[in-house]
Structure 1
């Protein structure tokens, strides 16, 4: 595959880059240099990259030497990747979007970073985020605000907004983000890329801060193609003795050939139970369902009554703030307010949940989990919206969604149920708004069924008709 004006090297996906390296058609040094040049040209406008890995060229040269010597190569050999700046990277600044951690230099890689490196990946840079990974917009007092490459007056989301903007604009082919309630799936939707939040515990969180509440946090791959998500997931998944949640990764992880089984059964829904949704977004979800139906997949509109009984966003808010506060208080102790960004201050000043409400919220989360379990006895997956609206302007605190005024947290209404339950989900583009902005759908599977939803996503990737997958910068 040759680089062209319409599809330059910096828009090749990781799968293609790895293949061209293995066949000696591309040098890892050339790939890394091309992406560094792209960063130099584009990043001043986007502010997605906050730190370059100084050893990227040196590592690329070693990767090139290994190819020439005929050594055994990993699946990502010679492919650059980026990582959100809450994820530890040895000898590369990891400052968590906060002046409190300015100059912090980890001594070792997070497990997820180490696994991509072991597969031959080359750490290229770190990407921007909200302070402490805590908000739906990537802005902070240390490294500033990231802009959406489709429209710089809009946000690429949070908390992995720097990662999504870097990948969408060709500064990186592959990256790592983290997800507490929305944070790999929402930013992917706002920039039109793809991302995977795996089942809780499939990918270790070791070396990522904050670690609490552990039952909601995930780390996952972000990329421009579904095959790249699978490529990265293959190397990221597996148990880690430093992360007790990864007992889930001990479950059989064999990839199955779904074409051998009976036709997939897929439900689709945009509500109720997922908050208000823009009509344009609803239409794209329905189009995705109809596209699958056109190739023989059994599809029908569904609902999950448990989501109507207990609104997942409210349940999540009752639980996570109480569990995060102690860690945030510890991190900010002794620092003046001007060193702490507004979202952390807002969370720390929120009233505590009563013990009665906290316990009831825990029961509600289990009821929601039961509701999904009942659903997955009949269906293989469910397709929903990721966000209720396309990318929005910086700093918005309320939204008018289909005639209903809601606060900004409602952006998470369709994504947070997966964090409450631990279910896996993929965010992928399937449509375009009237303004020319990406619209993504969310594909949700049962627990430990990542390969099934990756298969469904790959079907949809082949079925979609979306012009201009890359922003014009």
Structure 2
């Protein structure tokens, strides 16, 4: 029964709990047992909530008493260890913050709880969430459940690995350049980076540069992502970027009023792309076309003219350094190599800083022009499937590229604030997940959720599980 429970998505678990076919205690214990059995192999979970089982017992009493139940009543969820959780360790992947226990929940955590969800555990990340892999001096390295010699990505690699391995049905993650969508692709789960500001970043560290930071859900089904998004979105009165209405249509089940038009793109615009990744994007395009969607190959000139990752790094280096130096002052011996790399990055001149901001505006204009004709963009998430740990470079089509190239298809959405969803649609020749990315115009999350549900219904990789 445990194996069956941990394979179910959150929506089905909630329904089974509501109809008394399983109890919240059974569900929680199954996931706790799964963590005990699997986490030593991949190191995705860094702290288990002490009161998780007691919370499940209270949830069970509510079911038996006939109380009104929330949409996630009794369902466990996890959260990246940069997101504040009241009474539960939140250590930011750093020995400097070892033992830190917040007194309040971040609004995202609080909203999951208000819907009946039960915090199960916290998940691994790179120090301060700043790298493309998930390792640190405090809790070590997370391994990809599909192949422990490969990375689950970063910075939300612990979250994606935990969900992929059945230790959690859904969770909360953050994204500044790749950190939700990349790990989701590398581990075969689904991750949504909504429009910037849709979901408040309050109670999440680091805070800078907050105009690029996002928080969002990860799960194993599109309907779970849609449900979580509908619960998480909306202003909290503290994050000045979060201003959109709270009640939002998740988009599933709603028939579009007209045919949806999608442009698909692999190259040029995102640099070199592995042939298996390119083939997977094309297969997704054909699948959408077969489902009645208007699909055309496209080029987006601004992607060929401007490198979003370079802009992001120039801006982050200047804005992040002061915050990191303040946080690490007096503890320089406890800084891991990824944060040290931030400190070692040359300062950006004010002229280059201003130019970078202006180029981001030009990139937003370029996307706005694209979305005048198309409802969505279909493209790669990462240029390669999950790569080896600590890889400095990749070889694609016989050419070597920096491992930072892994962010070239995700960074444009971060600097422009566009919504993007990552989901698996293929498998590499060595058995690793391959993801595709769906992008819509600002505040049109319902479009990517609708298209994702279409792809999910015809996916060639449904019901595949690691471990």
What TM-score results when the alignment is normalised by the length of structure 1? 0.97
Alignment root-mean-square deviation, CA: 1.3
Q: Write the distance in 2 (CA, Å) between the matches of 1:236 and 1:108.
A: 17
Query: What's the counterpart of residue 67 of structure 1?
Result: 63
Separation (CA, whole Å) in 2 of partners of 1:89 and 1:253: 25
CA distance in 2, matches of 1:188, 1:321: 26
Report how far residue 165 of structure 1 moved.
Answer: 0.6
Within a 5 Å distance, the mapping from 1:457-468 to structure 2 comes to: 457-466=452-461
Note the C-alpha offset of 1:254: 3.7
Note the alpha carbon deviations across 1:366-393, whole angstroms, 9 max, x for none. 0000010011111110000000000011
Q: What is aligned with 1:183? A: 179
- In the aligned structure 2, how far is the partner of 1:290 from the partner of 1:155? 29
User: Could you tell me how far 1:271 is from its partner in structure 2?
Assistant: 2.2
Matching residue within 216, 220, 227 for 1:220: 216
Matched, 1:322 2:318: yes
Q: 1:195 to 1:255 in 2, by over 3 A?
A: closer
| Pairwise CA distance, 1:250 | 2.9
Contact kept, 8 Å, 2:230 with 2:249, in 1: the verdict is: no
CA distance in 2: counterparts of 1:359 and 1:193, whole angstroms? 37
How many angstroms apart in 1 are the aligned matches of 2:434 and 2:97? Answer: 35
| Residue number in structure 2 paired with 1:341 | 336
Per the TM alignment, residue 468 of structure 1 is displaced from its structure 2 partner at its CA by 5.3
Q: Who is 1:437 aligned against?
A: 432
Task: Say whether residues 1:392 and 2:384 are aligned partners.
Answer: no
1:101 aligns with 2:108: no
Q: Per-residue displacement from partner, 1:162-207 (whole Å, max 9, x unpaired)?
A: 0011000000000101001000100001100001000001111110
Structure 1 unaligned spans of 5+ = none
Deviates more, 1:371-380 or 1:252-261: 252-261
Match of 2:202 in 1: 206
Provide structure 2 residue ranges, at least 5 long, that are not aligned to the other structure. none
CA shift in 2, pair 1:187/1:255, >3 Å: closer
TM-score by length of 2: 0.98
Using the TM superposition, give the Cα deviation of residue 66 of structure 1 relative to its aligned residue in structure 2, in angstroms: 0.8
Question: CA–CA distance in 2 between the matches of 1:355 and 1:260?
Answer: 46
Do structure 1's residue 278 and structure 2's residue 274 form an aligned pair?
Answer: yes
Quick check: 1:251–1:448 contact (8 Å CA) kept in 2? no
Contact residue 258 and residue 452 of structure 1 kept, 8 A: no
Distance in 2 separating the partners of 1:203 and 1:468 = 30
For 1:331, the equivalent position in structure 2 comes to 327
Give the superposition deviation at 1:251. 8.3
* 1:421-470 per-position Cα deviation (integer Å, ceiling 9, x unaligned): 00000000000000010000000011011111101000000011116521
Question: Cα offset for 1:255?
Answer: 4.8
Per-residue CA deviations over 1:331-379 (Å, capped at 9, x if unaligned) read 1111133x00001001111110111111000000000000100111111
Q: Which residue of 1 aligns with 2:301?
A: 305
Query: Secondary structure at the residue paired with 2:174?
Result: strand
Alignment-derived partner of residue 408 in structure 1: 403
Q: Deviation digits for residues 276-318 of structure 1, max 9, x if unmatched?
A: 1001100000000000101211000001111111111112112
CA contact (8 A) 2:82 2:205 kept: yes
Q: Which piece of structure 1 moves more, 255-264 or 276-285? A: 255-264
Distance in 2 between the 1:258 and 1:361 partners? 39
Aligned equivalent of 2:25, options 10, 29, 33: 29
Q: Distance in 2 between matches of 1:162 and 1:254?
A: 29
